[in-house]
A = this chain, B = another copy of it.
């Protein structure tokens, strides 16, 4: 038996790796959202002084890992490994940030589930005795994502009411073997779930079944239920996807009361985003700016953070394919009992 695997898909971290530092960098629109005061850095414009949005997104990721390191009084060379990914083709924000850091690097691609995938793999490296300090980053940017996955924002296409607004933001965390902070106890690695959705303007509906599948397996693997968590938060299902998840939960007799979604939390209703936020940055900045603080303060004791990813490709969509989705879950706890 694999001693640190529980059930079908869940990893156990008995040595409880600790999130010791975290940082969030967002764009101006996110700064005006309900969590605006909590971000470490709010950019004054979406170009961050660069000539292109792609360079701006990379700069955000670099800022966020630099801030996370600085808060913990660490240098990049103190990290054993750096795990990162983003939504851009060839995960260029991650590659160029890793070039700057000059640390051993593993590139990940899990679309908007990438931050959770990074937390899972960081846990594995720490628990396995391969590292003492691991950095994890993810980012997204509204304008780079629209340009790559849908149509350039300059075209001014009307967005349907099912659309979500990709968060301009990047989050980074430092996870360590020892220290003070928030502990990581378990992770559930998701399977690809694809129920046939092919609408790039309605990714919440596509992802909700993947979130549900991972959640159900997580409960089965650990013999837990919704009452074992103070909060179960998905990454970026948005209003529509969150509603669908709630329906799926009710069908199985699971109370949806303690569920929320980072895509709903990141913007206020009057910001006119339609279905809320999305992107690698969405779950990352809500976790690092808000949820970790709530765990630290004791407001929450244990949360389940489910990163949701729509593995959308414009090319396979044009070739008639539907959108494969995935969700990875991590259990985060405040240290005190």
Give me the interface of A with B, judged by CB distance under 8 Å: 1-5, 8-9, 11, 51-52, 54-55, 80-81, 85, 88-92, 95-96, 98-99, 102-111, 117, 120-121, 124-132, 177, 189-192, 194, 311-316, 319, 321, 324, 326
- Number of copies of chain A assembled together: 2
Question: Which residue in chain B gives the minimum CB-CB distance to A111?
Answer: B90
The smallest beta-carbon distance between A12 and chain B, in angstroms, is: 8
B2–A105 CB distance below 8 A: no
Residues from chain B with a CB closer than 8 A to the CB of A11 are 130
A107–B108 CB distance below 8 A: yes
Q: How far is the CA of A131 from the CA of B124 in the complex (A)?
A: 11
Q: How far is the CA of A142 from the CA of B156 in the complex (A)?
A: 36
B192–A105 CB distance below 8 A: yes
B2–A129 CB distance below 8 A: yes
The residue that A109 contacts in the complex, of B9, B102, B108, B311, with Cβ under 8 A, is B108
Question: Which residue in chain B gives the minimum CB-CB distance to A319?
Answer: B52
B2–A104 CB distance below 8 A: no
Question: Which residue in chain B gives the minimum CB-CB distance to A87?
Answer: B90
Which of A55, A106, A177, A190 is most buried by chain B, counting CB atoms within 10 A of its CB?
Answer: A106
The smallest beta-carbon distance between A18 and chain B, in angstroms, is: 14
Q: How far is the CA of A103 from the CA of B189 in the complex (A)?
A: 9
The residue that A80 contacts in the complex, of B5, B52, B316, with Cβ under 8 A, is B5
Question: Which residue in chain B gives the minimum CB-CB distance to A147?
Answer: B315
Q: Mind listing 28 A-B residue pairs with CB under 8 Å?
A: A2-B80, A2-B132, A4-B128, A8-B104, A51-B319, A54-B316, A90-B109, A90-B312, A90-B316, A91-B109, A92-B311, A92-B315, A92-B316, A95-B311, A96-B316, A98-B191, A98-B324, A102-B191, A102-B192, A105-B189, A105-B326, A106-B117, A106-B121, A107-B311, A108-B109, A124-B125, A127-B128, A128-B130
Q: How far is the CA of A313 from the CA of B95 in the complex (A)?
A: 10
A92-B316, A106-B121, A107-B311 known, 14 other contacts, Cβ within 8 Å: A2-B129, A9-B104, A54-B316, A88-B315, A89-B314, A90-B316, A95-B311, A98-B324, A99-B192, A102-B192, A103-B191, A107-B117, A108-B108, A128-B129
Q: Considering the complex of A and B, which 8 residue pairs feature the smallest CB-CB distances, nearest first?
A: A128-B128, A104-B189, A99-B192, A4-B129, A90-B313, A3-B129, A89-B89, A109-B109
Q: How far is the CA of A127 from the CA of B117 in the complex (A)?
A: 19
Residues from chain B with a CB closer than 8 A to the CB of A132 are 1-2, 5
Q: How far is the CA of A125 from the CA of B5 in the complex (A)?
A: 10
Question: Which residue in chain B gives the minimum CB-CB distance to A98?
Answer: B192
B2–A177 CB distance below 8 A: yes
Residues from chain B with a CB closer than 8 A to the CB of A126 are 2
Q: How far is the CA of A102 from the CA of B5 in the complex (A)?
A: 18
Question: Which residue in chain B gives the minimum CB-CB distance to A110?
Answer: B107
Q: How far is the CA of A96 from the CA of B108 in the complex (A)?
A: 16
B128–A96 CB distance below 8 A: no
Q: How far is the CA of A110 from the CA of B107 in the complex (A)?
A: 6
Q: How far is the CA of A181 from the CA of B72 in the complex (A)?
A: 44
Supposing A89-B313, A124-B124, A319-B55 touch, asked if A96 and B324 sit within 8 A by C-beta, the answer is yes
